[in-house]
Structure 1
Amino acid sequence: MVLNIPGVVAMAVFYLLVLGTGLWAARKSRAMEKKSTGDKTEITLLGDRNIGLLVGIFTMTATWVGGGFIVGIAEVVYNPNLGLVWAFMPLQSSVSFIIGGIFFAKPMREKKYVTMMDPFQIKYGRVVSGALVLPALVMDALWVACTLVGLGGTMSVILDLPYSYSVGISAVVAIIYTLLGGLYSVAYTDVIQLILIFFSLWLCVPFLMVNPVVGDITQTAFNHTYQAPWLGAMEKGKVFKWVDDFLLVALGSLSFQCFHQRTLSASSSFNAQVTCFAAAAMVLILGIPSVLVGAVAASTDWNLTSYGSPSPYERNETGLVLPIALQHLAPPYVSVIGIGAIAAAVMSSVDSGLLSSASMFSSNIYKNIIRKQVSNGYGAVAGYLVGGLMRLLCGEPIFNLPPVLHFPGCTLEDGVYVQRSPIRTICMLLALAAILGFSWLAQLMFNKVWLPERWDVFQVKFQTLPLGGAREMKEKEEDGTVSEQMLDTTKC
């Protein structure tokens, strides 16, 4: 295979369009900064809390519809061992947006927080909240890496470009406009990228489905034609794992700063909620083309294609099934359009991850290291340790980490122990119990003077409650012992 010159030219045009949009938005951000009397940090990280409803919906949706989203859904649907029943990322994201819109968007926007860690900083203080930021930073880094790998694999198949070139160019372009324009650049480039994602994916699907080597996907959904039905099946022993995996993203997505960055940057608390609910619908729609691509791949007689036999699954190339389908089942110009959709999806997530990490690091770590202050954090530390320790003891096959604790249903498969119980949910609940239990115990023991006051390193009895990056400051109670409720959801 030789370098696809027309495809490379088309991608160059796309990158220039995105970079130009980002630079234009950066100029808009600079002009806004000169006119605004607000905090410069809020202008950079939150767009001066003036992002309109339409742009907010676009940037919220585009952040979640990344390369891993598009390529991953097609992979799972095509995989004979999984199928559509396991491709629940669109539904997970939609549920997450709805929960966030109901319980978090309005109260957090009204309190004018800068990052999602500000409520924790109020409750537990700067040191503990700074420690809690570290897992979020690692999560953002892994998310960005996963997204870039999705693009690298696609370009290597269709354009015959090495991973390093496509990953490097995409990362550099995203860094440039994110660094120069902050959230304004990220939001306005997301508009361009989401439009390209929507039209490109839906344009590619019909070409794939009418290819003569592709069977009727309504038949292959239930019948074993070329492989197992692409709808998949829910085995009795994997029900708890399905629930565990679903909750991992449906609830875990609420711990992404990029989600809260969109709601906190909205021009009003009402717009923040509407943004969540609208994005919940859009993410479902944008997941459909990838499902159809996976179904088409599962319904294809690969022996009759230029790809040949054996199938992508048998060659252990399941993760590349979307670009392989575009390359071998669609005309060349259509495959290039599909590449544009994936590139747009990747950059819309990469820039969000970069800005998310920068927000938390600057607001909750950098400032906290300079201005340290201890506060009530016994429960937070206990939850941190209990949750982390339990997750290690449960094992993780991806890291070849064997389980020490064998929960009900744990079985030995091919010499490896596999947990069938919802271990992630169990660890989360144990961590939550530790937070509540140790917080109550610490308050009780120090307020009742059952332990000497000199042992109270987090100053449960005498604490100030700084808000950090947010504007409001919590007034100390007269006795200096009561801490503020993290979120008031009674008005949601």
Structure 2
Amino acid sequence: MSSADKTPDTNKSVTMAVDIPGMISVIIFYIAIFAVGIWAGRKSAKSTTALEAFLANRDMGLVVSLFTLTATLVGGAFINGTAEIIATSGMLWTVAPVGYCIGMFIGGMVYAPKMRRAGYVTMFDPFQEVYGVRVGALMCIPQFMGDVFWTAAVLSALGSTISIIMDVNNTLSIVISAVIAIVYTFLGGLWSVAYTDVVQLICIGVGLVIACPFAVHSPAVDFSTLSSDWVGQVACADIGRYLDLFALVCLGGIPWQVYFQRILACRNARNARLASCVAAILCLAFAIPPAIIGMAGKAADWNSTAYPGPLPLSPDDYSLILPLVLKYLCPRAVAIIGIGTLSAAVMSSADSSILSSATVFSNNIYKNAIRQKASDRELVWVLRTGVVVVGVFSTLIAISVRSTYGLYVMCSDLMYVVLFPQFTSVLFIEGTNPYGGLSGFFISLLLRILGGEPLVRLPALIRYPFYDEEFGQGFPFRTMAMLSGFLAIVVLSRLTHVAYHRGWLSPRFDFLGFFSRTESPKLHGMEGFGENNDKTAASPDTLEEEMGDLPEGIHDEVKVKSNGDHAEPLLTETGAIHNKIA
């Protein structure tokens, strides 16, 4: 009898007693993670500076940077989501792991060195440098939303995993996991998060690698039944949707503070580039075990297992395919080890996102927009308060959420459509100004909202070509919205610049005060944008550290100019080196 013919056994209760050995395993791993977090936090306890809490005093070595960058992406949503989509839609539709890894590689080669050389504190410093404090603060909103949804996604995945294997209420497991992550992040800042990431990444690798052979060789698994289903297919009507989704996860994974927090904590730009590129390869490698486990779950005859629920598996059940395989297709000891390592590892993404939003609020909202003269001690406590607020809010959302993969992909939606064109413009397009930035922000946001979103039951007010009542837009409307915003930024920035400087636009219409701040010819272009133009000459030692990736031929020129009475290389308040070397 096939699994499709099996009906629910009304005499078999799906409610089981609490799994004591599994519970002990989780407790042991939680204690280990908590202990590492507290121990690492003592590195920053000796210092009360905000830079120590935000960026580990920019003293993060290559190995720790590599581990923490990898662990930031490889969390519960990454693992569970990969297994789920492999089982339901096939390899071709499992675009998130591949796309995010490509995005991390692009980030490492293009964006990371420029950001690290500039010495920014957060990824929103260049926004406020170019757009000014107020408009730059507006750009933080998509980041806050993305961090909260991402944290909720990984906590939800953890709760579902523990509830399946140990028959423990998932709300309880979510709350306990969140509390542990909040406490050690509260106490230790980035040092605690980074060192726990090292332990968590080792845990998740060991747990999944051990489980794979047992899942594949389970008597209930017959891969011959898969045929070509595991590959999946992209129908002609789905090509636009597929390309849109792939572009979203590739480019939408770049403008994340959680990523740049680690980049900016690296000792130099060379380490930042290397750590990001190698981490991208490791992330792709970490997607292989859950993909194998997902295929094993798809090929399993669940009738021959002890699974007590109704068959065939429902879509909701497939969202939990990884913990189901661990429990019903693997030996008892392997399942216990697997859940222990996964439950500890999933916090590697949650704590990172919590710290990310708290850092942005402390530096770019509180310090830059509210209290410019805030002391380091005050900023540290604002950071800690932010950690608690973001953690609690994310936990509340996680308790009410079921779908892991939907949240996983949605995390990059706002970042791709709204923030990616903004971030690229302020970094690389000279002449970008806040009027173009605001126009691009609202145009891309409006087009994205009007396109609808079935995952959150948002109706499509604009039905593009290839629209489907069940699946929504078939046209790559997210990419269109992103490109429209990009075009608006460039065109409106240029138009307002020309209109103002040719006298077509009265100074009284400069309501953001941008052009009045950049009147000096020396300040036109990227150097003069923003409100923080106070500069002090860089010391030779500072320049030596920041020049790590400059071409060798200009090192001597920079050093000579820095030793003169009128040094050319200058540091902004964020530490950005501005020089006239082309």
TM-score of the two chains, using structure 2 as the length reference: 0.75
Q: 1:23 corresponds to which residue?
A: 38
Amino acid in the other structure paired with 2:437 = A
Q: What pairs with 1:119-158 in structure 2 (closer than 5 Å)? A: 119-158=126-165
Amino acid in the other structure paired with 1:237 = A
Q: Report the CA distance between 1:316 and its aligned residue.
A: 3.6
Q: 1:206 corresponds to which residue?
A: 213
**Structure 1 residues 312, 277: CA separation in 2 closer, same or farther (over 3 Å shift)?**
farther
**Structure 1 residues 233, 469: CA separation in 2 closer, same or farther (over 3 Å shift)?**
farther
Matched, 1:97 2:104: yes
Amino acid in the other structure paired with 1:461 = F
Quick one: distance in 1 between partners of 2:266 and 2:244?
32
Q: 2:303 corresponds to which residue?
A: 303
Quick one: distance in 2 between partners of 1:449 and 1:487?
33
Cα shift readout 1:84-135 (whole Å, capped 9, x = no counterpart):
1111222112211110111111111111001001111111010001000011
SS in 1 for 2:143: helix
Q: 1:181 corresponds to which residue?
A: 188
Q: Report the CA distance between 1:154 and its aligned residue.
A: 0.6
Tell me if structure 2 keeps the 8 A contact 1:363–1:468: no
SS in 1 for 2:139: helix
**Structure 1 residues 301, 487: CA separation in 2 closer, same or farther (over 3 Å shift)?**
farther
SS in 1 for 2:515: coil
Q: 1:165 corresponds to which residue?
A: 172
Cα shift readout 1:302-336 (whole Å, capped 9, x = no counterpart):
11111167545337411111111111111122112
Q: 1:277 corresponds to which residue?
A: 277
SS in 2 for 1:243: helix
Structure 2 spans left out of the alignment, 5+ residues? 1-15, 373-431, 519-527, 539-575
Tell me if structure 1 keeps the 8 A contact 2:86–2:94: yes
Quick one: distance in 1 between partners of 2:244 and 2:161?
30
Cα shift readout 1:386-432 (whole Å, capped 9, x = no counterpart):
0111111111112222212222211334xxx7210111111100111
Amino acid in the other structure paired with 1:126 = V
Amino acid in the other structure paired with 2:467 = C
Cα shift readout 1:138-161 (whole Å, capped 9, x = no counterpart):
110000001100000011111111
SS in 1 for 2:346: helix
Tell me if structure 1 keeps the 8 A contact 2:118–2:577: no
Q: What pairs with 1:2-41 in structure 2 (closer than 5 Å)? A: 2-31=17-46, 33=47, 40-41=49-50
Q: 2:370 corresponds to which residue?
A: 370
Tell me if structure 1 keeps the 8 A contact 2:102–2:280: yes
**Structure 1 residues 10, 188: CA separation in 2 closer, same or farther (over 3 Å shift)?**
same
SS in 2 for 1:11: helix
Amino acid in the other structure paired with 2:66 = I
**Structure 1 residues 473, 364: CA separation in 2 closer, same or farther (over 3 Å shift)?**
farther
Tell me if structure 1 keeps the 8 A contact 2:467–2:474: yes
Matched, 1:393 2:450: yes
Matched, 1:65 2:74: yes
Tell me if structure 2 keeps the 8 A contact 1:65–1:349: yes
Q: What pairs with 1:333-372 in structure 2 (closer than 5 Å)? A: 333-370=333-370
**Structure 1 residues 468, 297: CA separation in 2 closer, same or farther (over 3 Å shift)?**
farther
Matched, 1:451 2:451: no
SS in 2 for 1:317: helix
Amino acid in the other structure paired with 2:152 = A
Quick one: distance in 1 between partners of 2:333 and 2:532?
48
Q: What pairs with 1:405-424 in structure 2 (closer than 5 Å)? A: 405-413=462-470, 418-424=472-478
Higher mean C-alpha displacement, 88-97 vs 13-22: 88-97
Quick one: distance in 1 between partners of 2:290 and 2:196?
22
1:74 pairs with one of 68, 71, 83: 83
Amino acid in the other structure paired with 2:464 = F
Equivalent residue pairs, number: 460
**Structure 1 residues 185, 378: CA separation in 2 closer, same or farther (over 3 Å shift)?**
same
Tell me if structure 2 keeps the 8 A contact 1:312–1:321: no
Q: Report the CA distance between 1:468 and its aligned residue.
A: 8.4
SS in 2 for 1:231: coil
Quick one: distance in 1 between partners of 2:479 and 2:155?
28
Tell me if structure 1 keeps the 8 A contact 2:22–2:340: no
TM-score of the two chains, using structure 1 as the length reference: 0.89
Tell me if structure 1 keeps the 8 A contact 2:104–2:280: yes
Matched, 1:247 2:247: yes
Quick one: distance in 2 between partners of 1:361 and 1:22?
23
SS in 1 for 2:196: helix
Cα shift readout 1:345-375 (whole Å, capped 9, x = no counterpart):
3100011001100111111111233269xx9
Identical amino acids, percent of aligned pairs: 39
Q: Report the CA distance between 1:459 and its aligned residue.
A: 2.3
Q: 2:402 corresponds to which residue?
A: none
Q: Report the CA distance between 1:338 and its aligned residue.
A: 1.4
Quick one: distance in 2 between partners of 1:345 and 1:25?
17
SS in 2 for 1:454: helix
SS in 1 for 2:469: strand
Quick one: distance in 2 between partners of 1:72 and 1:290?
9
Amino acid in the other structure paired with 1:387 = S
Quick one: distance in 1 between partners of 2:464 and 2:278?
39
Tell me if structure 1 keeps the 8 A contact 2:221–2:299: yes
* RCO higher in structure (CA 8 A, sep ≥6): 1
Structure 1 spans left out of the alignment, 5+ residues? 35-39, 224-228, 476-485
